[in-house]
Amino acid sequence: MLDERKSRVLQAIVEDYVATAEPVGSRTIARKYSLGVSPATIRNEMADLEEMGYLEQPHTSAGRIPSDLGYRYYVDCLMETPEVDPADAELIRRTFERKIREVDVLIRETARLLSETTHLTAVVVGPQLSKAHFRELRFIPLDDRRAVLIYITDSGFVENHVVELPVEITMLELERVAEILNQQLRGQPVESLSRTALRIVQDELKRYGALLEQTLEFLKENLEPGEKRRLYLGGTTNILNQPEFRNVDKLRSLLSVLENDELVAELLEATEPDSDKPTIQIGEEIKIREMADCSVVSAYYTLGNEVIGRVGIIGPKRMEYGRVVGIMEAVTRQLALATSRYRF
Amino acid sequence: MLDERKSRVLQAIVEDYVATAEPVGSRTIARKYSLGVSPATIRNEMADLEEMGYLEQPHTSAGRIPSDLGYRYYVDCLMETPEVDPADAELIRRTFERKIREVDVLIRETARLLSETTHLTAVVVGPQLSKAHFRELRFIPLDDRRAVLIYITDSGFVENHVVELPVEITMLELERVAEILNQQLRGQPVESLSRTALRIVQDELKRYGALLEQTLEFLKENLEPGEKRRLYLGGTTNILNQPEFRNVDKLRSLLSVLENDELVAELLEATEPDSDKPTIQIGEEIKIREMADCSVVSAYYTLGNEVIGRVGIIGPKRMEYGRVVGIMEAVTRQLALATSRYRF
DNA sequence: GGGTGGCACTCACGGAGAGCCAGTGCTAAC
DNA sequence: GTTAGCACTGGCTCTCCGTGAGTGCCACCC
């Protein structure tokens, strides 16, 4: 725990550095932040803070910048989350009051909204199929060899997939397959439609072999933990406005990471499972080497009590944490609300 | 038309500049490309070519680089398209021999494939709904107020959409609506399901007012020329490897363009409608200012005789046009083949 | 003893100048 | 028409200050 004055000094340094991207010196603080002491005193405090690991010095004759630890202390103990800017609040309200009926569009719009309000890069991981409850599947025959398999959950996802039919199957038999599957599976949490549960059904339906196998395969593909993710990035180019990424090589390695959906989705998994405050990962706390200069603010949104998706903001460590957290809270609240409209 | 020797000189300059990204001088050409004449002669030829507008000089004491016109002459008259590299050919073959059943996945994979083989940025605009023929729609009731509207075309697209029902409608009536619409519209080219054609049906079905309106709205949204595009970018970060984009500001403006799906899709519209060779746009031939240093190679792919989608490669003007064209031809051939598998 | 003013020291940054060199344009000769 | 020779150009790199922001330390003061 830092004493009052050290806290104020650290806070001043973080906030000034966030605003200017320049190492901040003792005189600047004495002038801009009225701590009522002289630069020399602040120099001493800064020397202490550096020794304790909260500050770093790019080179001997430069000002100080916060270390990862310094940012960590700042977000944990010093940061305030200001009211969301009225213009942003208005934008958020307006975005969600439009009735968006397609889940994909909703995700995309959310990502755009977050990136526009924070001027950073936003990630949204869409409602996960596996968190929903199975409702019903249907086959729509196309010709004698193929049908569309349609799969609906009670949170309103509709997925479809063309499956090949065993040649001999009749329209009636097809309906029978659907009926049996529906009876066995309706209302089940999709997550627990595990291989074993499905296998029971499979036994019962041995004779529809190939068709069933494809259906199951589709269900598996879409429901396993590694299910296809609905992931959307917004405002990737906002990164380019950050002075820390003027360097093209750094930029390239970061952008390569962002092109990898797997990795990005994992980033957001770090969200603390029970907190309803956004989680913040700072610099080297992120395991990805290329992101050592970045921070990630992430949160989840819920449908009922169920976590069904996540949002994140990726930016330089030097970001306005308070503002970002405020925006994120406002957006996830609205997003949960919007998602609940899909339910039936 | 350039005489033989001028052609050889221009070709040498383009190819050397493509390979090295450095302005090329008369000595380099004399040494590396055996034209059988001395540097001085080549200097004279270069001076001529510059006067004719095929070459430019970054500054007085530097070598020459091709102008837009120079590239244009090169791709029109001098370029050869070499055999696709065996490793790439193998990769292309393998990608498409996997049975990909989801259209979205196919597009994504194609974009990835193109960007990996060309080391440039790839765009794929997916099969357009509006080019298909209507086959059938279905309602699956969810509760007494909502149903899923499912829409199938004969080229294998399945789209779905939650619609709100007029409260009084019964299951049977719902089926009747679908039936009437199906009868009226089946087999129609989707493009010609214009507002007027739909209005006729609408008259007939006045009593289902709200539901019908929503259905029509959905059809319109998805079928109008401005329909939602299935567009996918691959290898965006490949741009960063190009020395011409070491400059972060140039890079930013280019990436902003690429974030705009509308603009990117328009780029590919320029594809010449009847040629089966890829179309090449060079530098300022592209109307987008931010892309003045880029070239776009684009082509379409067909299902039957119908153009249903487009692919493009975006790179610096200094790209290996021959190789890119070769790869693109191979990929579009395979893509058309793969798409035809969806048909029924 | 904590706070402060003063002072020497450090180091990144930017501009000026020198040398280098790839490449040109021109001229004269073949 | 081709080529060799040569003076000239202009960007690039390296080095060398000068400048200024900022530090660390010391002595002094309340």
Average pLDDT over chain B, rounded to an integer: 85
Q: Is A263 in the B-facing interface, judged by CB distances under 8 Å?
A: no
Say what the pLDDT of residue B147 is: 80
Chain B window 62-81, residues with Cβ within 7 A of nucleic strand D? 62
* Strand D proximal to A56 Cβ, under 7 A: no
More confident residue, A262 or A160: A262
Nearest CA in chain B to A137: B140
Instruction: Please indicate whether, in this complex, the C-beta atoms of A255 and B246 are within 8 angstroms of each other.
Output: no
Does the CB of A199 have a partner CB in chain B at under 8 Å? no
Distance between CA atoms of A304 and A64, rounded to whole angstroms?
46
Tell me how far apart the alpha carbons of residues B294 and A274 are, in angstroms, rounded to a whole number: 49
Considering only A197-201, A286-290, A329-333, B83-87, which range has the smallest mean pLDDT? A197-201
- Chain A residue at shortest CA distance from B156: A162
Between A155 and A28, residue with greater pLDDT: A28
φ/ψ (deg, to 5) at A276 = -100, 5
* Residue A208 pLDDT exceeds 70: no
Q: Which residues pair with B232 in a beta bridge?
A: B124
- Please list the residues that pair with A247 across neighbouring strands: none
Task: Say whether A140 and B150 touch across the interface (CB within 8 A).
Answer: yes
Element housing A1 (H / E): none
Contact assignment for A150 to B146 by CB distance below 8 Å? no
pLDDT at B247: 83
What pTM, to 2 d.p., does this model score? 0.85
CA A135 to CA A189: how far, in whole Å? 9
End-to-end CA distance of chain B: 50
Q: Using 50, 70 and 90 to split pLDDT, how confident is the model at B219?
A: low
SS3 assignment for A63-76? CEEECHHHHHHHHH
CA of A39 to C1' of C4 (A): 9
pLDDT of residue B289: 92
Q: Which of A116-120, A340-344, B226-230 has the lowest mean pLDDT?
A: B226-230
pLDDT for residue B90 = 95
- Residue with CA nearest C1' of nucleotide D2: B41
* Residues 4-23 of A, Cβ under 7 A from nucleic strand D: 22-23
Cβ–Cβ contact B222 with A under 8 A: no
- In this complex, do A236 and B251 lie within 8 Å of one another by their Cβ atoms? no
pLDDT tens figures, A144-196: 777 888 878 777 677 777 777 766 677 787 787 788 778 877 887 776 665 55
Q: Is B171 helix (H, G, I), strand (E, B) or coil?
A: helix
Q: Which chain A residues are Cβ-neighbours of B344 within 8 angstroms?
A: 142-143, 146
Q: Which of residues 123-152 of B touch strand C (CB under 7 A)?
A: none
Using a CB–CB cutoff of 8 Å, tell me whether B127 touches chain A: no
Q: Tell if the CB–CB gap between B240 and A259 is shorter than 8 Å.
A: no
State the smallest CA–CA distance between residue A235 and chain B in angstroms: 8
Q: Mean pLDDT in chain A?
A: 85
**Tokens, residue A269:** 């998994």
Q: Name every residue whose Cβ is closer than 8 Å to that of residue A133 and which is 6 or more positions away in sequence.
A: A153, A154, A155, A187, A188, A189, A190
Looking at per-residue pLDDT, the higher value among B246 and A227 belongs to B246
Per-residue model confidence (pLDDT) at position A183: 82
Across the A:B interface, residue pairs with CB atoms under 8 Å apart total: 76
What angle, rounded to 10 degrees, do the helices at A248-259 and A261-269 form?
80
CA B231, C1' C17: Å apart? 55
Cβ of B4: how many Cβ atoms within 10 Å?
Answer: 7
C-alpha separations of A131 from A99, A128, A275, A302 in Å: 23, 6, 19, 10
| Short-list A110, A105, A157, A151, CA closest to A129 | A157
How far does B172 lie from chain A, in Å, by closest CA? Answer: 18
- What confidence tier does A225 reach under pLDDT thresholds 50, 70, 90? very low
The answer to whether the CB of B7 falls within 8 A of the CB of B77 is yes
Which of A136, A160, A255 faces B160 most closely, judged by CB atoms?
A: A160
Out of A213-222, B154-163, B186-195, pick the least confident. A213-222
Higher-pLDDT residue of B1 and A76 is A76
Residue A4: pLDDT over 50: yes
Average pLDDT over residues B275-287: 91
Asked if A161's CB is within 8 angstroms of B150's CB, the reply is no
Nucleotide nearest to A46 (CA to C1'): D23
pLDDT for the residue numbered B323: 97
More confident position, A99 or A63: A63
A222 or A247: whose pLDDT is higher? A247
Give Cβ neighbours of residue B151 (< 8 Å, ≥ 6 apart).
B136, B137, B157, B158, B159, B160, B161, B218, B219, B222
Is B172 an interface residue toward A (CB < 8 Å)? no
Give yes or no for A40 touching B (CB within 8 A): no
pLDDT of residue A44: 94
Mean pLDDT score, A86-112? 87
* Positions on chain D within 7 A of a protein C-beta: 2-5, 8-11, 20-26
Identify which of A135, A237, A344 has the shortest CB distance to residue B255.
A237
Top-ranked range on mean pLDDT: pick from A145-149, B105-109, B135-139, B251-255 = B251-255
Higher pLDDT, B113 or B99: B113
Q: According to the model, what pLDDT value does residue A198 have?
A: 62
Burial label for B128, CB within 10 Å (0-12, 13-18, 19+), is buried
> How many percent of chain A have pLDDT more than 90?
46
Give the mean model confidence (pLDDT) for residues B43-66: 93
Contact B150 A143 (CB under 8 A): no
Between CA B332 and CA B111 the distance in angstroms is 11
